[in-house]
Structure 1
Amino acid sequence: MEKQGKEFSRRRFISQASKIGGASAVLGVSGAMGLFMDGSGEYVEAKKPDKEKPQKSPKKGDTFMLLNVRLESGYEYENGYIVATRSVIRNLEITKGTISKILDLKESYRKDLDCYDAKGLLLLPGFKDMHIHLDKTFYGGPWRGAVRRKNIFDIIEAEKTLLLELLPTAQERAEKLIELIAGFGSTYVRSHCNVDPTVGLRNLEELQKALANYSDKISHEIVAFPQHGLLLSESESLMREAMKLGATHVGGLDPTLVDGNMEKSLQTMVQIAVDSNAGIDIHLHEGGETGIKSVNRLADLTEEAGLQGKVTISHAFSLASLSESQAHEMASRLASLGISIASTIPIGKNTMPIPILQQRNVNVMLGNDSIMDPWSSLGIGDTLEKVHLAAGLYGWSYEEQLSQALSLATGGITPLNKEGKQVWPKVGDEASVVLVPASCSAEAVARLPKRAAVLHKGVLSSGELSYKKK
């Protein structure tokens, strides 16, 4: 371990990291790694907590010290190329959910406060899952695969039975799913929630109960989602009621394929948003020319209605059909209107032009979407894994590429900017953070280490912190 206040590179850290690398490879995200750095700089197996005595942890409103936290401090260069990331160890004071002090190890700190030892773990910004369906998951119950279907209308029909079957346990399952994504480091979630004639507003009510129970551990937005078609299921009045009950965004679904009338479907969705002073987040699965027409028309309506910065297109698979020049042109228009793209990093025949969207400053957000629900069986709930998949898909293997890729999981925040200057954390930043056994962001994206502890506004939402007795 370095002397107090001295910086060191990832390569100097690698001798320590190699001792946990094997465990990381075997255990992966789901393994109970339990390895921490002791006072001599060696990684040792942590003692298992005494199950009879609950471990002390930060609560809402607490002021406390988080000691020996690893922060990224800059890049190292060789022959003009970034080859490593430097880091330092610091002590943080956290006051009522905010980082109030960042102290060099030589600086004194308040010994009267509760102190928790991070033991050299790396601090990352909390992750944001910006597209998930918490309200209709099979998760939390017995294994159940996705519904077999020929087309979207088959599963819409199947949902009319499944939603009623799941309704009695909707809150319980949503809470289990919240615990899952929080355990992977998500401190913010945007959940789509079915609003349709089958369940009316009951899924929304159950989801709101679940989110209220976990309000200290995760922040949220809710999209009122007409899964069975805004026009097709005649859900406009229900959608308006959902907005009155606290939904933050108006949803929509394939205006041409499902609703059969692109113009009326989009106009209705936008009007509800304007009347409710709310944002929009539409599911747009439609590909090719049909999907592109919807994107362009929604862009027109966004400008006409003054909804700049308040519109998200989820999936937007049609963008994958654009040529490179067309993608640049489309991305420029989306960026000028503040229209975001929420993606699950789909892997298939056509690849989403996410690097081009980022180059043009489009806000690209990631989500896990379906977690063991009627539509898909494959989601695991880990937003960092989505970044890892993006890195593989787009060939991001270099240190700075992996480091900057973290922004996809954090709402655009990275500890270092592209020039290698430390920009996070700063005093005054929200203490929604993730602690991982890694040397830097690049390693975290590449290796997917265990999330040792997750804090949401200073409250321990998942994992454990080592409490130091006063």
Structure 2
Amino acid sequence: MLPEVSAIDMAGKLALPAFKERHNHLDKTYLSLGWKACRPVSKLSERLALEAAELEVLAESVEQRASAMIERHLSYGVNHIRTHVNIDPFIGLRNLEGVKKALKKYEPYLTYEIVAFPQHGLLEHAEVPDLLRQALASGATILGALDPAGVDQAVEESLALTMALAQEFDVDVDMHLHDRGEVGFYTMDRWLEMVEACGYTGRTAFSHAFGLAHLSPAMQTNFAQKLRAQQVEIMTTIPISIHNQLIPIDTLRQQGVRVSVGCDGFYDSWNPNFSGDILEKVQQFCEYTGKSSERALRESLGLITQGITPLDANGQQVWPVVGDEASFVFVEASCSAEVVARVPQNRQLMHQGKLYQASSNLHVPSK
């Protein structure tokens, strides 16, 4: 005899795997504050200087702002967030503490990872390595890194210290790599050599990885095979810029490299324009790369579901099956391809059997 279970009538809506936001910055958003456009800059160092100038003020509202961003993600069907959190000499661990409080409030509806992120460099400020150690001992679950060439201006030293810290705390590494061209490619290639030498396979993600964009197709394929061998995941966002070529997402996936798409930041000092809808990013990817067939559209959904799609390459249903986690996004659509192409706005998230119900007072800071 079957045990009694409660049932929820979803009125014929389509069930999809819950979405995963794998590249985000909960501590940076201006959400819940008044309108503020960002100031144009000509290089990364200028952007970082502008960000540093407002860190102290923004730290006071980090829990409130992070909560507002989390609620936006939940409303769009996201039940997992990997967030980078600034760990820097200007505010220490204050952003980390605020983000932790925000995430804690929403644990019934999502899982999360916290990346201790040295946004203002690992080497320039002597206190940063110890601050990262404190963060990893205080709730951060992943070690971040940023442009060993462009920001730290010392590729070997920066990579070596990053590996030493990762091994010290036995944590994965998520490395932001904006550097383009040969230096960006060299940084990734050198890190893979360290990973192999240190036995750290399966512990790395490259965020952005812009250095892959302008390689020849043959080099892209060969390097994708290296990434797969070391089980490196690529975290990117769409679009990068109309002035710059996208990284070779299709080539990477064809070679067995897992690629995840995230919103990065939205409505912050870097960019005021993003909606925060991760599904919109998938639609943009399909538009930019000319994907329009039923199969191409539905397979692109895997960019935001950790590769899980309802149908396999042959069109046979492979998800959900008995025993799968009861985490879904319910939408008004006939199939997953239509969802990618049309981006329905009314969505209902279920996380581990629990329906998310938005509340107008959830993002009030905790006492």
TM-score bracket, normalised by the shorter chain, equals: over 0.9
User: Which residue is equivalent to 1:387?
Assistant: 282
Distance 1:452 1:463, change over 3 A: farther
Q: Cα distance 1:463–1:135, how it changes in 2: closer, same or farther (>3 A)?
A: closer
1:411 aligns with 2:306: yes
**Aligned residue for 1:205?**
97
Specify the code of the residue in structure 2 equivalent to 1:263: E
Output the CA distance in 2 between the equivalents of 1:121 and 1:109.
26
Counterpart residue number, 1:354: 249
- SS of residue in 2 equivalent to 1:416: coil
Alignment pair present for 1:222 and 2:94: no
2:363 corresponds in structure 1 to none
Instruction: Measure, in 2, the Cα distance between the counterparts of 1:463 and 1:297.
Output: 46
Q: Which amino acid aligns with 1:205?
A: E
1:341 aligns with 2:234: yes
Q: Which residue of structure 2 lines up, in the alignment, with residue 398 of structure 1? A: 293
Matches of 1:457 and 1:163 in 2, distance apart?
36
- Kindly indicate whether residue 80 of structure 2 is the aligned counterpart of residue 188 of structure 1: yes
Q: Deviations over 1:167-197 (max 9, x none)?
A: 1110011001000011111100100000000
1:160 and 1:450 map into 2 onto residues whose CA distance is 35
Q: Does 1:317 align with 2:210?
A: yes
In 2: Cα distance, 1:317 partner to 1:151 partner: 15
Q: Is the 8 A contact 1:434 1:451 kept in 2?
A: no
Of the three residues 154, 163, 166, the one matched with 2:46 is 154
Once the two structures are superposed, what CA deviation does each residue of 1:429-456 show, in whole Å capped at 9, x if it has no partner?
1111100000110000000012431011
Secondary structure of the residue aligned to 1:116 is coil
CA contact (8 A) 2:83 2:114 kept: yes
Q: Give ranges in structure 1 of 5+ residues lacking alignment.
A: 1-107, 465-470
Q: Does 1:431 align with 2:326?
A: yes
Q: Percent identity?
A: 40
Deviation per CA, 1:262-308, whole angstroms, max 9, x where unpaired? 00001111111111110000110000001000010111111122221
1:179 aligns with 2:94: no
Corresponding residue of 2:18: 126
- 8 A contact 1:453–1:463 mirrored in 2: no
CA shift in 2, pair 1:344/1:462, >3 Å: farther
Is the Cα–Cα contact under 8 Å of residues 77 and 347 in structure 2 kept in the other structure?
no
SS at structure 1 position matched to 2:194: helix
Pairs within 5 Å for 1:209-288: 209-234=101-126, 235-288=128-181
Aligned to 1:447: 342
Provide the TM-score with structure 1 as the length reference.
0.74
Provide the rounded CA distance (Å) in 2 between the counterparts of 1:188 and 1:203: 19
What is the rounded CA distance, in whole Å, between the counterparts of 1:430 and 1:116 in structure 2? Answer: 16
Which amino acid letter does the alignment assign opposite residue 456 of structure 1?
A: H
**Residues of 2 paired with 1:462 and 1:155: CA distance?**
37
CA contact (8 A) 1:299 1:337 kept: yes
Q: SS of the counterpart of 2:173?
A: strand
User: 1:140 — aligned with what?
Assistant: 32
Moved more, 118-127 or 149-158: 149-158
SS of 2:179's equivalent?
coil
CA shift at 1:344, angstroms? 0.2
Deviation at 1:319, TM superposition (A): 0.4
Instruction: Note if contact 1:455-1:462 (Cα within 8 Å) is conserved in structure 2.
Output: no
| Runs of 5+ consecutive residues of structure 2 not aligned to the other structure | 360-367
Shift of 1:421: 1.8
Structure 1 position 151, deviation (Å): 1.8
- Secondary structure in 1 matching 2:333: coil
Alpha carbons 2:85, 2:115 under 8 Å: kept: yes
Cα distance, 1:463–1:209 mapped onto 2, change above 3 Å: closer
Query: How many Å apart are 1:351 and its aligned residue?
Result: 2.3
Alignment-derived partner of residue 188 in structure 2: 295
State the aligned residue count. 356
TM-score, structure 2 normalization? 0.94
Query: Superposition pairs for residues 65-144 of structure 1, below 5 Å?
Result: 113-144=5-36
Partners of 1:334 and 1:452 in 2: how far apart? 35
Contact 1:452 1:463 in 2 (8 A): no
Asked if 1:367 is matched to 2:262, the reply is: yes
For residue 352 of structure 1, what is the amino acid of its counterpart? I
Q: Compute the displacement of 1:462 (Å).
A: 4.4
Structure in which a larger fraction of residues adopt strand: 1
What letter corresponds to residue 364 of structure 1 in structure 2? V
Instruction: Give, in whole Å, the separation in 1 of the partners of 2:39 and 2:351.
Output: 35
SS of the residue aligned with 2:69? helix
Match for 1:124: what amino acid? Answer: L
Residue pair 2:228, 2:256 contacting (<8 A) in 1 also = yes
Q: Structure 1 residues 246 and 254, CA, compared in 2 at 3 Å: closer, same or farther?
A: same
User: For the residues of structure 2 that align with 1:156 and 1:356, how far apart are their CA atoms?
Assistant: 32
Name the amino acid aligned to 2:92.
G
Q: Which amino acid aligns with 1:327?
A: Q
Structure 2 partner of 1:89: none
Deviations 1:54-109 (A, max 9, x none): xxxxxxxxxxxxxxxxxxxxxxxxxxxxxxxxxxxxxxxxxxxxxxxxxxxxxx98
CA contact 2:118–2:146 (8 Å) conserved in 1: yes
Shift of 1:347: 3.8
Give the 3-state SS of the residue equivalent to 2:213 in structure 1: helix
Contact 1:273 1:280 in 2 (8 A): yes
Offset of 1:246 from its aligned partner?
Answer: 1.7
Q: Distance in 2 between matches of 1:421 and 1:113?
A: 29
